[in-house]
Structure formats: structure tokens, C-alpha cells
Amino acid sequence: MDALGLLAAVVAVTLFPGGVYAFAAAGGAAVAGRLPAAQRPWTSAHAGAAALLLFAAALVPLPQAPAAALPAPDGAPSNLLAVLLLLGAGIAAGTPASWTRARIAAATAAVAPLLVLGAAAATLSLPVVVALPGRELAAARALAATAILVAAPLLGRVQDTATPRPLRALLLVVPALVAAVLLAPPGWSNIPAAAAAAMTLAGIALYAGVVALGWRVVGTRPAPPAVAAGCAAIASIVLTALASR
């Protein structure tokens, strides 16, 4: 990688879409989602989890994200599997090791539709997956995003005050970034980066507010979000299969 490519990598991880941008989104999510304050301080495991989540955020292909230009000069589209592995590792390292059946079901629902979409695209390039043409595949992506958004609060255990508040907010934000590019309309990649970044920040804050409202309505029971995420995931997989015939 040349000096320009190295600079782009540093910007992607430390500024946008990782680093400063991800923490700004986390601040909005913490306030809008009314996340409770932590009862315990940061640990090395929490710091490691935050780093993994920031690396995952850096690979999300928001418009004009620097990571899309690596390595120079031809670029290397962000890898879906790498994003999922970094995100999964961040969740595992940053949350208590309590994997109930509902949480496992939610994790499966969040991941399986993305892998099926990758299989339909015959690639793990995330920009290609989010740009697959056709109404059926667009609907399948929207349902996959829904599964991620519903599962994220359960996977990140964002009401657990044993985890630092900023880290819990990141556990909402990074999956929401992935969902944002899945929900993005055609031509999304052509809009200015600042406009896309602002729209995404607003969308994440709105999402966190909806999550907080959901807790008021259904409480923090794990079964409802796990079932809802599972239904969205199954529908996404079915639509992807039908579109690929």
C-alpha cells in the first residue's frame, strides 16, 4: 500500500466512517435511546471491543468512504465477511458471555440473510451486495436490514449497565450503519459524503429513539425481538431464493 492508501486507511479508521464519526453517532444514539449509565468502569476487554467495532464501522461502504479506495490505485470493496467477523468479535468481547437461545436466534437472524445475499451475488463484496438489482432483492435487503435492527439491541445487551454506555451505544450504531447501506435507495453512492453522513446520523438517532420506545411497550424480554428478527430473516432468505431462480 502506498502513502496515499495508508492515509486513506487511517482516515477510515479514525475519522470516517469509523472513529470520530462512529462515536458521534454513538453519542446521538445514547441520548435518543436513553441508555442507562454504566455501573462499572472500562476494562481492557471493553477497549478491545470498541476497537473491533470501529474497524467494522470503517469497512461500511458509506458514500465516498476512504476504505473504498484501498488499496490504491484500484481499490478493494469492503468484505461482508470481514465486517460480520469484526462486529461479532466486538459483541463477544464487549458483552457478558451469556448466550441464551433467544440471543443465539437473534444472531443467526442478523447474519444468515446477509450470507444468503452474498451467495446470490456470488461475492462477499459488500458494495456489490447492497447494489444487487431487482425489486425482489431490494426487498430482501430491506428485510435483512430489519432483522439486523431488531436483533442489535438484544445482541449488544444495550440495557446492561455492566457495559460502559459509549460501548453499548456503539453496539447499536455499527449494526445500524450496516443496515443503513442495505436500506439505501438507488443512487445513494452518488450523493455528497457530507449529506450521506448527516442523513445516517439522523437515521441512527431516530432508530435509537424507536428502540427506547419499544422497550417501553414490550419491555426487555428477549423473545419478542428474537422472533421478529427471525421472521424478517426468513422472509429475506425466501425472497432472495425466489429472485435467484
User: pLDDT tens digit string along 200-242?
Assistant: 999 999 999 999 998 888 777 888 999 999 999 999 999 999 9
C-alpha cell belonging to residue 183: 436500506
Find out whether the peptide bond into 127 is cis, omega within 30 degrees of 0.
Answer: no
Instruction: Give pLDDT tens digits for 154-212.
Output: 999 988 898 999 999 999 999 999 999 999 987 787 888 889 899 999 999 999 999 99
- Coil, strand or helix: which one is 61? coil
Domain count, the chain: 1
Mean pLDDT, to the nearest integer, of 37-44? 88
The neighbouring-strand residues paired with 125 are: 79
Confidence (pTM) = 0.92
C-alpha cell belonging to residue 10: 487511517
Domain that holds residue 209: 3-243
Q: Is 131 exposed, middle or buried (0-12, 13-18, 19+ CB in 10 A)?
A: middle
